[in-house]
Structure 1
Amino acid sequence: MAEPQRTYVTQEFLEKMKEELTQLKTRKRAEVAQRLKEAIAMGDLSENSEYDDAKNEQSFVEGRILELEAQIRTAVVIQTTKSNHVAMASTVRIRDEKTNEEETVTIVGSTEADPFEGKISNDSPVGRALLGTKAGDEVEVDTPAGVIKYKVLEISGSTNK
C-alpha cells in the first residue's frame, strides 16, 4: 500500500486548518442542516432552488471537511531553524538580477502557499531552485515567461514577517 502524501505546514497554518475544521463541523453543518430543513418544509423539491442550493452547500462543506481531515492527518509541521542554507520555512530575500527588484519569500508546503502573502511552495520552480542555496548564491529559474536569474541576499529561519 502506498504511503499517504505528506502535507507540509507551519504550526500556525495547522492551527488554522484545525480551527476551520471545527467551525465546519459545528457551526456550518448546523446552518446547512437548518437551511435544508426549511427548504424541505416548502414542499415540492423538484423545483425548489433553495433546496438545491442547500444540498450543493452541504456537498461543499462535507467535501471540505474530508479534505481538511486528510491534510491534518498527514500534516508534517515544518520546523524553523537557523541555518545558512535555504530550507523549508526559511524566509529568503532575493533579487531579480535583470530588473534589480528585491522580494522576500517564505518557503512553505503547497497547501499553505500564497504568493500574495510572499509564501511560495517548495514544489514551485522558485521554491525548488532556492532550496539548499546560501546567501550570495545565484539560481536560474525556468518560468513560462523565460529564465529568471535570482541572487540570494539573505536567509532567516523565521516564518514570521
Structure 2
Amino acid sequence: MAAPVKDREVLQRLSFLFQAAHWVLPHSPALARFYCSIQRGTARRLVLRLSPSVKRVVCRRCCSLLLPGAGGCLRLRGRGQPRTVLRCRSCGRHRRYLCREPPILETPPLETPTLEPPPLEQAPAPGQGPPRINPAQQQSGDMSSDWSPQKRPVPNQKTPFAEIKLPLF
C-alpha cells in the first residue's frame, strides 16, 4: 500500500483551481486570473511547491494563463541558442525558455526485436528417422545408442547410500 500523501485535500483543491481556470479562460479571462491567484496564494500560505509545468503557464505578474491564443503569445527567437518566448497579453511580461535538445545517451540503444520467426530445426528426410535398435541388442542390455533412456537402478540393488546407517534419536 502506498504511503498517504500529506495535504491530499489541499493538492486536490489546487488541481481543481488550475483545471477550472483552464475551463473558464475562453469565456471569462478575469475569472481564470482570479482562480490562478487563489491557487498561488493557497500554495504560498501552506508552503507548498507548485509543479514547474503549472508555474510555466501562469504569469508571475498578473496570474493570467499563458496559453497561446487565449492569454499569451508564443514565439521562437534566437540565432545561436533558440528560445521560446511567452508574452502575457494582459500585462506584457515576457518569459524566455531555452529550447534545448534532448541529452545524448552514451549507452547503446537496445536492439529492436525482429518480427521474423526463429529458424526451425530441419526435419529428417523422408525415410530417415531415429536409428532403430535390433531386438537382440535390446535383450542383451547393450544400449550404446545416445538417444535411448538410461537404466534405472533396481530397488533391491545396493547403492553407496544404502550402507550408511544413521543413529536414531
Identify, as 1 or 2, the structure richer in helix. 1
Same fold (TM over 0.5): no
Structure with greater contact order relative to length (CA < 8 Å, sep ≥ 6): 1
Structure (1 or 2) with the larger CA radius of gyration = 2
The structure with more strand, counted as a fraction of residues? 1
TM-score, reference length from structure 2: 0.21
TM-score (norm 1): 0.22
